[in-house]
Amino acid sequence: MTEPLTDLNRLCIHTITTKPWSLAEAIDGYTRAGVPGVTVWRQWLEPLGVDESARRLRDSGLEVVSVCRGGFFPAETAAGRQEALDDNRRAVDEAEAIGAPLIVLVCGAVPGIPLDEARRQIADGIAAVAPYAAEAGVKLSIEPLHPMFADDRSAVNTLKQANDIVDALAMPNVGVTVDVYHVWWDSELEEQIQRAGKTVFSFHVCDWRTPTRDLLNDRALMGDGCIDIRQIRAWVEATGFHGFNEVEIFSNEHWASDQTEFVERIKDAYLAHV
C-alpha cells in the first residue's frame, strides 16, 4: 500500500475549487496557506488580462501546473470545428504566457453527433492543435470524463478511449489526465493506467459524494466519498509519475463556505486521504 503523503510539496489547487476567489485572491490565499501549485482555469485570466495575470503568477512563486481547459472539438459544422481549433490555439498562447506546461482537454460532445464520430473529430482536433502546442512547449492532456457527461461534455469517457487516441496520434506532447472522479468506477483502470505509462501527464483528486445531489457541482472533499484515492495514486505513481496531486472540486456546498477555511480543510484531507 502506498504511504500517506507527509508534506504539501506536491499539492496543487485548481482555481475553480475556490470559485468565489478571483485569481489575485487565490494567489494570495494559496501562498499564505503554503500551497505550492496552482492550475488556472481560463476564465480566471479574464479580469486582469493574460499579461497581468502572468506577472502576478510569476511574482507569487506559485508553480503553474496546468491550464484548464481546452477541447470541445466536435461540432455540427466545419465552421464550428474551426472555431474550436482557434480557441484551442488561444489556450496554447495563454498557457505559454503564464508558464503552464500543460493544457487539460475536456474533449467535447454534441447531442446528436454519434459518440464514435465525436471521438474521430476529437482526434482530428488534437492532431491539428498539437504541433502548435509543441512549438510553444505545451503538452495536451486528454481527460476522460465520467459517462454521465457523454451527451454534451466529452465523448471520451474511459481511460481506454483516451489511450486509444493517444496511441493513434503518437505525438510526444499528447497524453492523458487521470481524474479520480471520472474513472474510479472503471474495472480496467489499473490496466489502463499501466498502459498509459509515461503519457500520464497529470492527476486530479476529489471524492464521489453519496448521494450526488448535482451532476456537475457536488464533488466531495477527499475522504468524504467512496473513492479509494490512495490506491489510484499508487497506480499512477507506478508509471513513474511524480507530478502534482491537483485538487479539483466543483461544489456548491464548499463554494458557499469560507474559502480560507476550505483551503485548510483541503490541506488536512490531502494528507489524510490522498
Q: Which residues bind Zn ion (CB under 5 A)?
A: 179, 204, 248
Taking the least distance from each CB to Zn ion, the nearer of 96 and 248 is: 248
Q: What's the closest the beta carbon of residue 29 comes to Zn ion, in angstroms?
A: 20
Contact 229, 205 (CB under 8 A): yes
Cis peptide before 20 (omega within 30 of 0): no
* Cβ at position 181, least distance to Zn ion in Å: 7
In this structure, which amino acid lies at residue 45?
A: L
Give me 214's grid cell: 448535482
Of 6 and 208, CB closest to Zn ion = 208
CA–CA distance, 74 with 153 (Å, rounded to integer): 10
**DSSP code of 198?**
G
**Min dist. Cβ of residue 206 to Zn ion (A):** 8
Q: Give the integer Cα–Cα distance in Å for 81 and 198.
A: 30
Q: Looking up cell 505525438, which residue turns up?
A: 171
Judged by beta carbon, residue 139 or residue 204, the one nearer Zn ion is 204
Distance CA 199, CA 246 (A): 17
Cα diameter, the chain? 51
Instruction: Give min distance, CB of 157 to Zn ion, in A.
Output: 13
Cell of 91: 489556450
Report yes or no: 181 and 216 within 8 Å, Cβ to Cβ: no
What is the smallest separation between the CB atom of 86 and Zn ion, expressed in angstroms? 24
Q: Measure the CA–CA gap between 216 and 206, rounded to whole angstroms.
A: 13
Q: 119 vs 204, which CB is nearer to Zn ion? A: 204
Antiparallel, parallel or unpaired: β 102-106 and 139-142: parallel
Residue 179 vs 207, nearer CB to Zn ion:
179
Q: Which is nearer to Zn ion, 64 or 81 (CB)?
A: 64
Alpha carbons within 13 angstroms on the beta-carbon side of residue 162 total: 37
CB of 217 to Zn ion, least distance (A): 14
Question: Is the Cβ of residue 52 or residue 149 nearer to Zn ion in the bound state?
Answer: 149
Please, what is the minimum distance in Å from the beta carbon of residue 225 to Zn ion?
15
